[in-house]
Amino acid sequence: MHFSSLITAALGAPAVLASTTGRPGRSSLRFGCGAPDPTLEQLEVAASLAAKESRHPEDPKAQTIKVDVYFHVVASSTELSDGYLTDQMLSDQFTVLQDTFAPQGLHFTLKNTTYTIDESWAHDGDELAMKRALRQGSYKTLNIYFLKDLNGYFGYCYFPDNITYGTDDFYYDGCSVLYSTLPGGDQTNYNLGYTVTHEVGHWFGLYHTFQGGCDGDGDYVSDTPAQGSPTSGCPVGRDSCPDQEGLDPITNFMDYSYDTCYEEFTSGQGERIHTYWKQYRKDATEGETDEVTPAPPAGPPPPPPAPPAPPAPPVPGEHKSHKSQKSKKSHA
């Protein structure tokens, strides 16, 4: 079963972990990122990987993970206020994505950006239909959907798992992000682009730094201190687990701090990213036919060209050569 992670703008309401939407593992959590608690199977996998990493530690920068990325802008009109992002905002967001993961040995290539005007999809309606229409590549391809509204959330993403190409879970894979959290957006305290970094961290398999609270194995990463609850703001010196070693990792991208507070992934998180990548995504293909669904056009299609005017009647004794005209499509 797949589990998603959601970041929300609303604060304080309780979590509801059961899903009634038909989506795999979507939570109604109204505080921060709404990932349901991992299943016993997922925790067993994380524990096994942690034990393996402790016996055979690897430098995440020793090998580079190369990831193809597709951006999908899904808006309700061509106005910025309706989610139609500018080229500059998208460029700045991609730079943030590249810069925040580079220290852990990751490199992203932006393959294409698509634009879709759809009132329902822009408000997170019929997620599966939208993703079936827009998703590109294989299970190792990162698709990020920028939407006008996510029903109060900042974003959600799906953890890696054993997925069969072409199934619903395959199409659900990827991250949906609120358009106003991009660099230059108007989401107060969360508009430097780190919502994408946080969600893509989940796409690579990372849990929250406060997973499990002060007891147990937490996020199963050895160099992230125990954390009893999510951070709000940027409270330097916060220690929600005073009986455990270390202060809360408030600058870690997998906490809930303000964007101005975020600084890093740990080396252990970088190693975990590489471990999950090799286990779930590295060797993924697009199925037996190795076909990729054609990408939607980058922007609304231009109107068809007007039909050519009929030729003038020939002048007696004169011969005219009529050359065919090639029509060119412009991509916004």
Catalytic residues: 199
Closest listed residue to residue 208, CA positions, set 3, 5, 2, 1: 5
Q: Give the C-alpha distances (Å, rounded to integers) separating 232 from 28, 33, 260, 317.
A: 19, 12, 12, 86
State phi, psi for 109 to the nearest 5 degrees. -125, 120
Closest listed residue to residue 49, CA positions, set 260, 249, 278: 278
Side-chain-side CA neighbours of residue 133 (13 Å): 17
Within 10-141, strands assigned E span 65-75, 106-117
Q: CB–CB of 303/327 below 8 Å?
A: no
Q: CB–CB of 154/177 below 8 Å?
A: yes
Closest listed residue to residue 106, CA positions, set 114, 97, 115, 119: 97
Cα distance between residue 85 and residue 15, in whole Å: 31
Q: CB–CB of 259/192 below 8 Å?
A: yes
Burial class of residue 23 in the structure, from the number of CB atoms within 10 Å of its CB (0-12 exposed, 13-18 middle, 19+ buried): middle
Q: Between β-strands 142-147 and 175-178, what pairing exists: parallel, antiparallel or unpaired?
A: parallel
